[in-house]
Structure 1
């Protein structure tokens, strides 16, 4: 790893997503844009074919009066989902991706609050939507109906286009700073807000993100499409680079998809990285090869110091599980234990972490492949300024962001917008500090901060990271119980132990004590509660902390 940062990658900047896609169609017309399973075969759609289908769908929607409207979409990840998404982005409409895992009532609330005019939905959601009483007329189009749904609109649009209808192609687009997408956050407190992003916001994230990270090739798309990380960082970056996106059908099919598509990179969240890490080590232990594997790791590191890279040969069995061509994993969405990133680098797969938040489209900082410190979340994107507000003696304060990727505000909620925006600065609610190399370290969430009666401040995430380093621990929440007067005096840890590696309570206490032994006395755990089940999580796999403290 380099000791200092290096020049940014040269990246072409665009004023519109339409121009960005057209550029790829001209340059890579016959290159596969998307690959996915269809029945027992793999279907490949080129950039040229994809663009044509966007034109046909857009022509039909325009012909039916869908200009300056709100277009929503809900369903499993699919090529058709992407087709609706890109068609909306290439028009003067506003796109609303809806979290497919929301309860029925929340789905209806999002549709109402977003003022959707038309909803494209998977079969699973049709009854829910068609049986709802919306305040205004909402057209519902099936993504899955082969005769009367999306495919029918494409077919009709094709006929109109071939008969000379160019209304969609010649449509006057909105200004890049106008509203383009409304993303509803799925926070751990349950307060969902509609984040308003412009085309300028999204393109700033795409282009500035690619300036610090070389993300191109063949992607395996596994994250839900309603999530800003995959919508912008995954799908739009792929279009910019002319990459091929291979669409994974479901979480259960990830292993199969890796072998089928043989990707070179993946956008993931820490839950994926941790699962891969745990399965690799479990398999090594099951085969009784732990000692030999650790020796290979040591030998590989020694050889690397002399410029000899044998990682793909030494760890070929692991690479084969990832399809044999995996080069990098781009990880964001939540904190990741540094040892996991180090491990993947040790076996020859670069794992680059970053920091983002939906309100920033979402990327704020990112580690670079040759200037990578897993204890940090990397350097600031060029499109933004990032500062630490009111830092304490250790340089820790609230992270605030200002720049081209910062949201327009919360949809129809000026009061909530005012709570987090001031003079163009977005206050993230995350605490952190910068290293002397200008890499950002996240220390915790503002709302999770524990203030003990002795005046000491504790970020529970720091302690949780230490406890999660215990191999048998799968999940943990650290918090402070309040006494009768409401004071926080001592720390409690709720721990879920991996069922595959059971641990007696007394042994768990010893391991927790050892894991925290290097920390000050006031950061020691006074009480441990063992959970019988995993913690309840949001749809983005973040633990709902407030339910357990």
Structure 2
């Protein structure tokens, strides 16, 4: 077993309780903007809330809550990222009770059971959830009060309708009106800041309940304390150093611990300005107008940003210039000259000009995207964590950041790799103050996750590499065990597959045959536009055979780079996106359930599905269901249509009989030979392209060597000159 503890590189702010965020913000950053947002996306002006405003609104929220429920109650919040969401979270989690952030993208039928499980007595929500909450209040025995957060979705007509509907409901409030019930304005002017806030939770008291990704029944409810959250904030800020008075763009959902701890709580601890993003479509616009310094992102978002930059360069006819600039930036940096941000000042200007740090998490980010942003002069710090660890366990920091890894354990967090030999992969175990208290109402699952010594068993597999940086190799739950006993981690293969620009997503799994053999199978989500570019068929029908050939070549290339037992033996594709979480991770369990249902309906085995488009099977299955539901009754028109098709079929059969068996076999062989020829031709063309690329790389390497020689010669000349000057001075 390898055990490493994260180093403390910097002095972290003294945040030991969530109320310290408010008190430190009030004393150090009083007039500085804490949160900025638009009431409507079309608004030109921003609403800016200072750290003093934030403190006062949290106090008002706590005073108002005391009037409707006793401290210690559970308060649920569901909605888009907003200032009101943040005020609710801080007011409850900093001492009043237990906050229960819920995923706003969950279906209504899933939110209900989660609210039941949480035991929340008050629900704070956005307008789209009003009818659901209104219904749940009638049926749910624990929900006593509801507070609607005003947002752009709340139109004047809808507000009037809701007011009329709830005019006799004394337990319903609009958020801004609810704060006016606080009656604490005099106290805010006369009493000390510390005295007005609720006392902090005890060390073992729960301050937050967060549901992990999954359906309402399978999602686990993680119980976190203030000690958990604040220790993670201190560990994070003990590992990184940023400029003063920075701005962060809040893009990811706040209910997720990654954004919550890194993009919300940690930013407040630094005295940063948090700009709430207007939506995913407006990320580029918001980065530019807010001159953002740091963003918290997931791989899907970063890949989208990379694609947008490349497409814009292509549109302007500057794609080659972009590639050459990247080569130049890397070559200069190799010899110790960093001119990245100067070379790409025009690109960076489109991102606001000040974007310097991207913290990436929730899933693995491919090396191409990492190198792309690194070449632009933007530091991508890739991290690893899980809700049960509040959430960050490790990450690249501003001292050590090895691309392709999830960095060192953050300050004061101890990580163990449960392996037999140093350097080998093993399960990642975590020991830290940030490890959760447990799962709500599930002591057995808690014992399974946290052992008697206090180690959190993550279920993730990783290894320790250079400079104690960790690499994630897979999940123990998704691990494929072959008949030979050898183990394969799907994540490793998925990473290789999604590096191909025409593969949007992939899911690798082991499919057991009737003989007991396990077939490594991949479901591929193909980007139609990119595959057309690849095959050269920009217009017209794109045949399944064309795509199958392209995928076959790709799979062969990948398999050649792997040990034989890891090779992908079966694959099929789809144009439909997979089911994902709000942080853009594939919901593996739900996808596997859908695939299992498809197998059962089609009765096809892995050999029949190899290289096939499974969308057509799904369509056929749907059509069959519709046909079955419609009954066996046939109209006269249908009978006539059947008779017509029968006549056509007979004529076709007669025509087919004229073709001899030998002729059919000859045509089939000719077709296969033609396909083999085109396939081999593509392979040869690609090999030729590879040779050309290698020649280009060699030429670039030669140029780099010449540059280095020139630089070294200049340095030697300077040294000689200094020596000569020294000799003259001595004389």
TM-score by length of 2: 0.71
Q: Does residue 538 of structure 1 match 2:581?
A: yes
> 3-state DSSP class of the match of 1:131?
helix
Q: Provide the rounded CA distance (Å) in 2 between the counterparts of 1:442 and 1:371.
A: 17
Tell me if the contact between 1:189 and 1:544 (Cα under 8 Å) persists in the aligned partners: no
Query: Paired residue for 1:356, among 346, 362, 385?
Result: 385
Report the secondary structure of 2:477's partner residue. helix
2:337 paired residue number: 308
Q: Which residue of 2 aligns with 1:154?
A: 179
Bigger drift between 102-111 and 189-198 goes to 189-198
Question: 1:288/1:517 Cα in 2 relative to 1: closer, same or farther (>3 Å)?
Answer: farther
- Tell me if structure 2 keeps the 8 A contact 1:59–1:161: no
| 2:50 aligns with one of 38, 41, 46 | 46
Partner of 2:638: none
Corresponding residue of 2:231: 204
Question: 1:12 — aligned with what?
Answer: 13
Corresponding residue for residue 79 of structure 2: 75
- The CA deviation at 1:330 is 0.4
- Partner SS, residue 351 of structure 1: strand
Aligned to 1:341, what secondary structure does the other structure show?
helix
TM-score (norm. length: structure 1): 0.94
Contact 1:88 1:94 in 2 (8 A): yes
Out of 556, 568, 578, the position equivalent to 1:525 is 568
Task: Identify which range, 9-18 or 284-293, moves more after superposition.
Answer: 284-293
Structure-2 change in CA distance of 1:416 and 1:43 (3 Å): same
Residue by residue over 1:96-147, the C-alpha shift from the partner in whole angstroms, topping out at 9 and shown as x without a partner, is 1011111112211111111101110001101101112102342111111789
Determine which structure has greater relative contact order: mean sequence separation of CA pairs < 8 Å that are 6+ residues apart, divided by chain length: 1
**1:16·1:176 contact (CA, 8 Å) conserved in 2?**
no
Alpha-carbon separation, structure 2, partners of 1:7 and 1:536: 39
Deviation at 1:165, TM superposition (A): 9.1
CA distance 1:530–1:189, change in 2 (3 Å): farther
| Counterpart-to-counterpart distance in 2, 1:9 and 1:59 | 37
Higher-strand-fraction structure: 1
Question: 2 CA distance for matches of 1:91 and 1:215?
Answer: 29
Judge which range, 465-474 or 28-37, deviates more. 465-474
For residues 443 and 318 of structure 1, the distance between their equivalents in structure 2, rounded to whole angstroms, comes to 33
| 1:59 and 1:168 in contact (8 A); partners too | no
For 2:125 and 2:274, locate their aligned partners in 1 and report how far apart those are by CA, in whole Å. Answer: 21
Which structure has the larger Rg over C-alpha atoms?
2
In 2, Cα distance between equivalents of 1:288 and 1:438? 43
**For residue 255 of structure 1, what is the aligned residue in structure 2?**
284
Map of 1:289 onto structure 2: 318
Equivalent of 2:548 in 501, 505, 509: 505
Gap regions ≥5 residues in structure 2: 1-5, 164-172, 535-546, 596-731
Deviates more, 1:330-339 or 1:217-226: 330-339
Q: Is the 8 A contact 1:62 1:168 kept in 2?
A: no
* Post-superposition offset of 1:537: 1.3
- Do the aligned residues in 2 keep the contact of 1:466 with 1:516 (CA within 8 Å)? no
Cα offset, 1:177, TM superposition: 3.0
C-alpha deviations, 1:195-218, integer Å up to 9, x for none? 000000001110101111225610
- Is this contact kept in 2: 1:493–1:529, CA < 8 A? yes
8 Å CA contact retained: 2:111, 2:216: no
CA contact (8 A) 2:423 2:464 kept: no
* TM-align CA RMSD: 2.3
Does residue 472 (structure 1) correspond to residue 502 (structure 2)? The answer is yes
What is the aligned partner in structure 2 of residue 218 from structure 1? 247
Which is richer in helix?
2
Secondary structure of the residue aligned to 2:109 is: helix
1:243 aligns with 2:272: yes
- C-alpha displacement of 1:439: 1.1
Distance of 1:521 and 1:514 partners within structure 2: 12
Q: How far 1:456 sits from its partner (Å)?
A: 1.6
Q: Give the aligned partner of residue 134 of structure 1.
A: 140
Q: Measured at CA, do residues 104 and 301 of structure 1 come closer, stay the same or move farther in structure 2, by a change above 3 Å?
A: same
What is the CA-CA distance between 1:393 and the residue it aligns to?
7.8
Residue aligning to 1:34: 35
Q: Give the paired residue count.
A: 544
Q: Secondary structure at the match of 1:212?
A: coil
**Residue 7 and residue 228 in structure 1: after superposition, are their counterparts in 2 closer, same or farther (change >3 A)?**
closer
CA contact (8 A) 1:205 1:383 kept: no
Secondary structure of the residue aligned to 2:496 is helix
Using the TM superposition, give the Cα deviation of residue 161 of structure 1 relative to its aligned residue in structure 2, in angstroms.
4.8
